[in-house]
Homo-oligomer: A and B are copies of this chain.
Amino acid sequence: MASTTQPEISAREPTLDDVRVAARRLRGVVARTPLLHPATPGFPLAGTVVLKPESLQVTGSFKPRGAYNKLASLTPEERARGVVAFSSGNHAQGVAYAARLLGVPATIIMPTNAVAAKLEATKALGAAVIQIGTTSQERLEYGAALARERGASLVPSYDDPMIMAGQGTIGLEIVEDLPNVEAVVVPVGGGGMLSGIALAIKSQRPEVRVIGAEPSGAADAQASLRGGHIVTWERPDTIADGLRATHLGTLPFALISRLVDDIVTVGDDEIRAAVLALHRCAKLVVEPSGAVAMAALMHGKTGVEQKRTVAVLSGGNIDPAVLGGWLLEGGAT
Give A residues with C-beta under 8 Å from B.
31, 33-34, 36-42, 53, 55-56, 58-60, 97, 115-117, 120-121, 124-125, 276, 279-286, 316, 319-328, 330-333
Contacts and interface: CB of A to CB of B under 8 A. Distances in A.
Contacts of A281: 60
Contact of A279 (B33, B40, B285, B328): B285
Contacts of A326: 324
Contacts of A121: 40-42
B327 A331 contact: no
**Count of identical protomers in the assembly:** 2
Contacts of A36: 31, 56
Contacts of A56: 34, 36, 282-284
A327 B323 contact: yes
A4 to B, nearest CB: 32
Given A31-B36, A36-B56, A284-B285, A328 B332 contact: no
Contacts of A115: 332
Q: Dominant SS at the A interface?
A: helix
B59 A40 contact: yes
A272 to B, nearest CB: 13
Nearest to A286: B283
A330 B327 CA distance: 14
B333 A117 contact: yes
B327 A332 contact: no
Nearest to A41: B124
8 contacts: A39-B97, A42-B124, A60-B281, A117-B333, A320-B330, A321-B328, A323-B327, A324-B325
A254 to B, nearest CB: 33
A42 B125 CA distance: 9
A116 B56 CA distance: 30
